[in-house]
């Protein structure tokens, strides 16, 4: 551990599995310590002393024992019983070797409302802790019966006046109630005993349900956690940055993977703090170099899907310009400008588990201003560079794995760059059907990886996640989020089904697509239709609805009807797009034209496209029968 960065800790409640699984995952991901959640200890096979030894073996400190609930009471007998219960927990803490216990504000019907009585009971509890060399970190639950704000918890701690009693500040409990962390400046640093961090999406719901099911790791939600932590550190806090995240997905996901996602969230947060607060002297990872565009999109194919996809690319105006020197990979190109033309690789050797005849997006090639620095950035953000086999005289390329398994390459396209790995076929790229480059790529994420993917592209590549939206699709709600570069040279559209599916599934499970750019979609559509490209038909009802809703020129509406175009607009501009049939059971291609300042992805048209894809697949299945 570098002495210059804060210690990183994670509550065991963040991770799935047994306590054994959780500790192994936290250690492997690089955490320095853990908060032991009491139910995890109760279910563990180890005694507290054995748990302490196991943590030491793994290089983990135990930073907090939690939670101790409903300490205060207006019933004197119950208040006395609670102190006896605290004594037993202090015994456990002594065996664990941990000196801080989290005490939550009470939610019980007999919780104390009187400020002086509450302070008196907290002081009595702190005296018990001090007698054992321990201390109490008092936390205001956002749904506490009488203490639900950090200000009220600080008032109680201040009134109690015990050196063994301080605050635990939890970002969710403060920010979910609209609290202002600037007020932390009132609190002496020695009274800030512990810090717990969680992000969350912006939701309007009961705060308890919001907390228990929808917390996220830093950088994945809507909270301004860099400012929150900046205020805590400015007030004098010197303890670990600790994650306490309750999330239904994390509770059933692979703990090793979740722990890496968690440590990456702290790496991102620490970088934000270093940039905002240079006086803290925090180390900075290599900055993410600008990503200036797409070098290629690679599709994994086989002997069945490869010829099908290649035929469609030819009908779309692409030229098969190269064969890889040492691998069964084809290079297809289109576009007038070498620096930005659309390039698609068909890789018949990609390691994949898909059924025969399936095509899928296997890799993304992104133009980096400094590929080596991009790779160093990825390593610093817990995304190790993947091992690759490179032939003699072949370009040195670095790639990392995105959460859905897609490989992301950092490249430079030039005479001595990766295209030199391809031997010319004799075909030359040209204007083709008017496709000029790649606009964006759409990837359906595994159910468990949607939030992880947003943080990955943000922290590792320097892209910015956009707002999460939901659409009512034919097979249930679909959640979507774009991640983009600041100049929109690189765009990704991520999507996920909002709920796990049962046996009833769409015709195209986990679809992926490559959106190709054109400056004149109507002319491109005419060329594609003349070349026999398998364009997806759109129902006449769609064009009739467009005519009723929008004041579009008659010739544009005619083109929509003739070529199966779709159109969406917002206050800044419009978006014309069309789709092909699904190729190789999963992938389809789009051709798009952005008009004015439109910055979206045609999301409102997705249900129409999904229904049309299902009809085409049903028709083909019936034809085979």
Binding-site sequence positions:
139, 170, 196, 244
Question: Exposed, middle or buried, 190 (CB in 10 Å: 0-12/13-18/19+)?
Answer: exposed
Separation between Cα atoms, residue 313 and residue 58, nearest integer Å: 53
List residues bridging with 424 in a β-sheet. Answer: 322
Residues 435 and 521 sit within 8 Å (Cβ to Cβ)? no
Query: Checking DSSP bridges between strand 192-197 and strand 165-170, what pairing results, if any?
Result: parallel
- Say whether the peptide bond before residue 507 is cis (omega within 30 degrees of 0): no
Residue found by looking up tokens 């390329």 in the block: 397
Q: What are the percentages of helix, strand and coil residues in the chain, rounded to 5?
A: 35, 25, 40
Sign of the four-CA dihedral 382, 386, 392, 393:
negative
Helices and strands in the chain, H and E counts: 17, 25
**Tokens for 260?**
């890496």
List residues bridging with 422 in a β-sheet. Answer: 324
Separation between Cα atoms, residue 249 and residue 451, nearest integer Å: 10
Residues 482 and 490 sit within 8 Å (Cβ to Cβ)? no
DSSP secondary structure string for all residues of 500-564: ---S---SSSS-EEEEEEES-HHHHHHHHHHTT--BPP--HHHHHHHHHHS---HHHHHHHHHHT
Separation between Cα atoms, residue 309 and residue 580, nearest integer Å: 11
Separation between Cα atoms, residue 1 and residue 61, nearest integer Å: 13
CA neighbor of 587 nearest in space, from 512, 514, 533: 512
**At 469, which helix (H) or strand (E)?**
strand 469-473
Residue 252 burial (CB count, 10 A): 12
For residue 150, the Cα-to-chain-centroid distance in whole angstroms is: 29
- Identify each DSSP E strand in 30-164 by its residue range: 33-37, 61-68, 100-104, 135-139
Binding-site sequence positions for a divalent metal cation:
139, 170, 196, 244
Separation between Cα atoms, residue 578 and residue 516, nearest integer Å: 10
Residues 363 and 298 sit within 8 Å (Cβ to Cβ)? yes
For residue 439, the Cα-to-chain-centroid distance in whole angstroms is: 22
DSSP structure class, residue 241: E
Separation between Cα atoms, residue 10 and residue 197, nearest integer Å: 9
Residues 138 and 176 sit within 8 Å (Cβ to Cβ)? no
CA neighbor of 334 nearest in space, from 528, 506, 195, 470: 528
Question: Exposed, middle or buried, 623 (CB in 10 Å: 0-12/13-18/19+)?
Answer: exposed
Residue 218 burial (CB count, 10 A): 28
């Amino acid at each position: 551990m570098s002495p210059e960065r804060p210690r990183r800790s994670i509550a065991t409640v963040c991770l799935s599995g047994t306590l054994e699984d959780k500790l192994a995952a936290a250690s492997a991901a690089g955490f320095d310590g853990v908060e032991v959640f009491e139910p995890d200890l109760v279910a563990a096979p180890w005694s507290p002393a054995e748990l302490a030894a196991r943590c030491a073996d793994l290089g983990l400190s135990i930073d907090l024992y939690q939670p101790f609930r409903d300490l205060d009471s207006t019933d004197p007998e119950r208040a006395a019983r609670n102190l006896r219960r605290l004594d037993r927990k202090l015994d456990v803490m002594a065996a664990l070797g941990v000196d801080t216990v989290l005490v939550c504000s009470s939610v019980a019907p007999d919780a104390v409302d009187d400020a002086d009585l509450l302070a008196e009971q907290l002081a009595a509890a702190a005296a018990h802790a001090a007698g054992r060399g321990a201390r109490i970190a008092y936390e205001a639950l956002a749904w506490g019966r009488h203490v639900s704000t950090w200000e009220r918890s600080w008032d109680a701690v201040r009134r109690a006046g015990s050196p063994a009693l301080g605050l635990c500040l939890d970002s969710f409990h403060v920010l979910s109630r609209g609290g202002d962390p600037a007020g932390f400046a009132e609190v002496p640093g020695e009274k800030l005993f512990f810090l717990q961090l969680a992000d969350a999406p912006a939701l309007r719901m009961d705060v308890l349900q919001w907390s228990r099911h929808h917390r996220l790791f830093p950088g994945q939600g809507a909270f301004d956690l860099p400012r929150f932590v900046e205020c805590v550190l400015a007030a004098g806090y010197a303890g670990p940055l600790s994650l306490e995240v309750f999330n239904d997905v994390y509770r059933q996901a692979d703990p090793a993977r979740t722990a890496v996602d968690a440590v990456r969230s702290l790496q991102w947060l620490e970088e934000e703090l270093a940039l905002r607060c240079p006086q803290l002297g925090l180390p900075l990872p290599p900055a993410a170099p600008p990503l200036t565009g797409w070098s290629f999109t690679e599709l994994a194919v086989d002997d069945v899907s490869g010829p099908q996809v290649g035929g469609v690319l030819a009908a779309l105006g692409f030229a098969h310009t190269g064969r890889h020197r040492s691998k069964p990979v084809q290079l297809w190109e289109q576009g007038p400008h070498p620096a930005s033309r659309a390039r698609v690789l068909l890789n018949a050797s990609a390691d994949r588990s898909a059924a025969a005849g399936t095509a899928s997006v296997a890799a993304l090639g992104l133009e980096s201003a400094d590929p080596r620095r991009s790779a160093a950035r990825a390593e610093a953000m817990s995304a190790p560079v993947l091992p690759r086999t490179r032939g003699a005289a072949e370009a040195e390329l670095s790639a990392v794995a995105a959460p859905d398994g897609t490989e992301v390459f950092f490249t430079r396209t030039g005479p001595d760059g990766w295209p030199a790995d391809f031997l010319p076929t004799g075909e030359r790229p040209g204007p083709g059907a008017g496709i000029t480059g790649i606009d964006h790529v759409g990837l359906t994420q595994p159910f468990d990886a949607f939030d992880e993917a947003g943080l990955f592209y943000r922290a590792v590549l320097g892209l910015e996640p956009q707002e999460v939206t939901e659409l009512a699709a034919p097979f249930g709600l679909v959640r979507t989020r774009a991640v983009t570069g600041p100049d929109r040279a690189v765009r990704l559209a991520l999507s996920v089904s909002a709920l796990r599916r049962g046996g009833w599934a769409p015709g195209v499970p986990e679809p992926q697509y490559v959106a190709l750019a054109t400056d004149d979609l109507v002319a491109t559509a005419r060329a594609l239709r003349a070349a026999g490209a398998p364009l997806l038909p759109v129902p006449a009802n769609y064009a009739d609805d467009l005519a009723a809703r929008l004041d579009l020129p008659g010739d544009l509406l005619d083109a929509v009807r003739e070529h199966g175009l779709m159109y969406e607009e917002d206050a800044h501009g419009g978006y014309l797009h069309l789709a092909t049939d699904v190729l190789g059971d999963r992938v389809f291609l789009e051709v798009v034209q952005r008009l004015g300042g439109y910055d979206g992805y045609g999301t409102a048209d997705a249900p129409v496209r999904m229904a049309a894809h299902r009809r085409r697949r049903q028709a083909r299945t019936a034809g085979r029968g």
